[in-house]
Amino acid sequence: MSSCKVLQSDVAASDLERQLKADMKKQSQLSKDGLTMECPSWLNQEYMEQCLRSHYNDNELEILKFQATPCLGKGENYLGVLTRVKVEFLLPSKNVTETRSYVVKSMLQDKIFDEVYGSDVFLCEMIMYEKVIPKLKTLLSDINEAEEIFARTVAVDRRRSCLIFEDLNERNYFTVDRLKGLNREIVELMLRKLAKMHAASAVLNERESGYLESFQRGLVSRHNDKNYSVVTGMFDACKKFVAQSPGFQDISQKLEKLKDNYMELCLRVFDPMPNHLNVLNHGDLWSTNIMVKYDPVSGKPLDMIIIDYQFVVWGSPGIDLWYNFNTSLEEDLHLNKQDELIQNYYYTLSDTLKKLSFQGHIPTLHEFHLQLEEKAFYRLHSTCFIQPIHRCIDTGDADFATLIKNTKHAMQFKESCYTKNPYCQRIIRHLLPKFERKGLLCLNQ
């Protein structure tokens, strides 16, 4: 059976448009009411039957039972709708009845989201699963690296901006508690797989003449200024928190002076440097985009899979490393162990690049650290402005509209990410003076 097929729906464009508008209206109201978004109206038994017939290459396949429920609550996913679909179906070609669970990821039908991103982020992820990931897997398979990094795809539906995956919960993979963070065992599993993915992407780009360099839209991008308000709003909220922290008056003043130049410093992180090692970054590598399988007896992590490729971006591996290390780790790892983690990542990266016969310069460990330091502003940004969103405790208003707007109500939510989270307060007060001493609050960097 095929791992991934692109579906061309039979539904007329006008019907599809009406369905999407109806979903947008319903989901906007649910968002206002503070409830979890309901499943898309088009996601029904008939639709899933069509998808599974294509996947199994059996036009006689028949769904006998169908159930769809929302996957995640607020604060766990800001940019998409995740629905778990459980089906029992008859597969005549094998004369068997099977019960399976799938996760359907569809685009958030929200007017504000559409104005900010359009279909870009979902188109990016569909291209990743349809074209890029199969090539990365082939490269790694050719050097006998069979370790599973990516979720298995059942269907890519461009008409509805929708992806259908196997339900990793069925194989005992689960998301990590975003408030607890990743422990060392999980992080080392993640870094090993991330390094292999990064290495394969560098080689793929080399062999296919810059094939991946068109992926230029990360979480922030010079190509889309419509989401800059998230950064500016969190900057103001953080600045207010710092100004109210005893002993931080000097740092507060430096933050104030940095405000006009802050967005440019963020954007520079995403600019590829031609003399550095560049890779295809995941772009949003935080705890909820990692699925972990645990030993049922000891509780120790056995394996993990990286999901959600909406913000992949070509550039320094520091984009993924600094972002993950400064948003998603347990406290001791965040504060004291980042150099050790980088070393572990580097050894796998270097080894995989050599196995793949990478023709470019493989930096030494020392050179690699120096390259990462040139993107160290992302440590400051991730710790002080992204981590509070990811670890927010009061999730009643945690939705895309609140993130993108800077109204009085939205700013109250952003400020609560600091004032109602003792963990983030502690981390920021510990690291901000260190960032200041490294010159990361200087106007000219």
Number of domains present in the structure of the chain = 2
Q: Indicate whether 25 pLDDT > 50.
A: no
If pLDDT is split at 50, 70 and 90, which confidence band does 24 have? very low
If pLDDT is split at 50, 70 and 90, which confidence band does 39 have? confident
Same domain? For 391 and 328 the reply is yes
Distance CA 429, CA 58 (A): 59
Same domain? For 133 and 97 the reply is no
CA proximity to 351, closest of 151, 175, 144, 186:
144
- Summarize pLDDT for 315-336 with one digit per residue, the tens: 999 999 999 999 999 999 999 9
If pLDDT is split at 50, 70 and 90, which confidence band does 307 have? very high
- Determine whether 199 is exposed, middle or buried from the number of CB atoms within 10 Å of its CB (0-12, 13-18, 19+): buried
CA proximity to 366, closest of 339, 336, 335, 348:
339
CB 144, CB 107: distance < 8 Å: no
Q: Indicate whether 37 pLDDT > 90.
A: no
- Summarize pLDDT for 223-276 with one digit per residue, the tens: 889 999 999 999 999 999 999 999 999 999 999 999 999 999 999 999 999 999
* 111 assigned to some structural domain: no
CA proximity to 262, closest of 220, 223, 226:
220
* 115 assigned to some structural domain: no
- Summarize pLDDT for 198-230 with one digit per residue, the tens: 999 999 999 999 999 999 989 999 988 999 999
Q: Alpha carbon 211 to chain centroid distance?
A: 21
* 211 assigned to some structural domain: yes
* 11 assigned to some structural domain: yes
* 119 assigned to some structural domain: no
Same domain? For 204 and 305 the reply is yes
If pLDDT is split at 50, 70 and 90, which confidence band does 35 have? very low
Output the average pLDDT for the chain: 89
Same domain? For 230 and 98 the reply is no
Same domain? For 338 and 197 the reply is yes
Same domain? For 143 and 95 the reply is no
Q: What angle do CA 263, 267, 272 make, to 5 degrees?
A: 165
- Summarize pLDDT for 124-133 with one digit per residue, the tens: 999 999 999 9
* 28 assigned to some structural domain: yes
Q: Indicate whether 311 pLDDT > 70.
A: yes
Q: What mean pLDDT comes out for the span 401-413? A: 92
* 113 assigned to some structural domain: no
pLDDT above 70: percentage of residues in the chain? 89
CATH of the domain at 340: 3.90.1200
pLDDT score recorded for residue 191: 98
Same domain? For 52 and 140 the reply is no
- Left (φ > 0), alpha (ψ -120 to 50) or beta: where does 117 sit? alpha
* 118 assigned to some structural domain: no
Same domain? For 271 and 307 the reply is yes
Tokens 């800001």 map to which residue? 78
- Amino acid, single-letter form, for residue 30: L
pLDDT score recorded for residue 333: 97
CB 307, CB 232: distance < 8 Å: no
- Amino acid, single-letter form, for residue 27: Q
Same domain? For 266 and 380 the reply is yes
Structure tokens at 184: 């060392």
Structure tokens at 261: 């130049």
Q: Which of 79, 106, 133 is a domain's end point?
A: 106
Same domain? For 268 and 311 the reply is yes
pLDDT score recorded for residue 414: 96
Same domain? For 133 and 274 the reply is yes
Same domain? For 137 and 230 the reply is yes
Buried b (16+ CB within 10 A) or exposed e, 184-194: bebbbbbbbbb
Domain housing 34:
1-106
Tokens 């909820």 map to which residue? 288
pLDDT score recorded for residue 76: 52
Distance CA 323, CA 346 (A): 16
pLDDT score recorded for residue 122: 85
- Summarize pLDDT for 74-88 with one digit per residue, the tens: 545 556 788 999 999
Q: Indicate whether 30 pLDDT > 50.
A: no
